[in-house]
Amino acid sequence: METIEKIKSNYNFTSKDARNLKHLAAIMEKYIDSFPVEFYKRIKGFEDADKFLKDEETIKKHQTAVKDWFSALFSGEYDNRYLMELEQVGAAHVKVNLSAHYVNASMHFVREFCWDILEREIENDKERYYFKGSVDKILDINLDVLTSSYIEEEMKHVFLSQKVESILVKFANRFSYGLNLILVIGLVAMGMMVVGLFIYDVTHILDGNLEKGLLSTLGSLLMLWVVIELVDTEVKHLKGAKFSIKVFVSVALVSIIRKILVTSLKTEEVQAQISLVVAVAVLGGVYWLISKVEK
């Protein structure tokens, strides 16, 4: 949180500036009643002004508030209490969702209004330039505080969501890592079962059923190859590599090829075999397309 002393020092606002502004108070007093009128002529032209200044009561209240604010510009007292009051104004604008753009634009009007008065009231160019510098500084300090409220409000939102976000992201990361580990364990178990199936198929060959044994063994070897591919992809993924969709298609392809090998022994299942061959052709096409895109 900035202190008024720090803000004043950043704008090189000295006790001389405070004295200059106090000196201008008597001149500005003459225009105190016309200020809210002229100010309102300008801000009424803003596109959404009616949205914020919706009824007579709000307008009256705001006109009195801006009049007091204008007087305080030339009070010569710019302490922490002054800063707190400005922060309150900033917070009031943020609360009604007033665009910071309107605050900037209306401050531009205030600057023009003050310069006009100085032009009219102070004949000596050097003196006018000197006072103008102090008016500029206090208006810039005001604008700084009024617009800082918007930045603080924005940072508050970002900070809150960042905190929630980081907890959520951390949790989701750990959870997905845990699921991936379960997947690896599942795949290893699957690999062991396929090895069991391979041994079982080899026994067919030893039993003398050579054709069935060879084809089934070939099918289980294909499945083993797929499991190896899956474990390999998953391990690479855990190490940070991109997940390969191709491997899923290869799983489906190998499963169907194995089915074809098994059903090829039964001559009566021709129709089923044709549909399996079509499925292999489609999956083969998809596999080829993915390989091309991945390249």
Which positions lie near ligand HEM, rule CB under 6 A?
43, 46, 49, 52-53, 58, 61-62, 65-66, 69, 88-89, 92-93, 96, 98, 102-103, 106-107, 110
Q: Return phi, psi of residue 264, to 5°.
A: -65, -20
CB of 150 to ligand HEM, least distance (A): 13
Residues, the chain: 295
- Of residues 110 and 135, the one with the C-beta less far from ligand HEM: 110
- Of residues 46 and 248, the one with the C-beta less far from ligand HEM: 46
Distance, in Å, from the CA atom of 205 to the CA atom of 194, rounded to the nearest integer, reads 17
Q: Sign (positive/negative) of CA torsion 134, 136, 137, 139?
A: positive
CB of 8 to ligand HEM, least distance (A): 19
CB of 90 to ligand HEM, least distance (A): 9
- Of residues 77 and 165, the one with the C-beta less far from ligand HEM: 77
CB of 158 to ligand HEM, least distance (A): 25
- Of residues 21 and 226, the one with the C-beta less far from ligand HEM: 21
Q: Sign (positive/negative) of CA torsion 167, 170, 176, 182?
A: negative
User: In this structure, what token pair is assigned to residue 2?
Assistant: 């900035």
Tell me which DSSP letter residue 243 carries: P
Distance, in Å, from the CA atom of 86 to the CA atom of 92, rounded to the nearest integer, reads 10
Tell me which DSSP letter residue 72 carries: H
- Of residues 20 and 106, the one with the C-beta less far from ligand HEM: 106
CB of 78 to ligand HEM, least distance (A): 15
CB 43 within 8 A of CB 98: no
CB 62 within 8 A of CB 50: no
The maximal CA–CA distance of the chain, rounded, in angstroms, is: 121
CB of 64 to ligand HEM, least distance (A): 9
- Of residues 45 and 133, the one with the C-beta less far from ligand HEM: 45
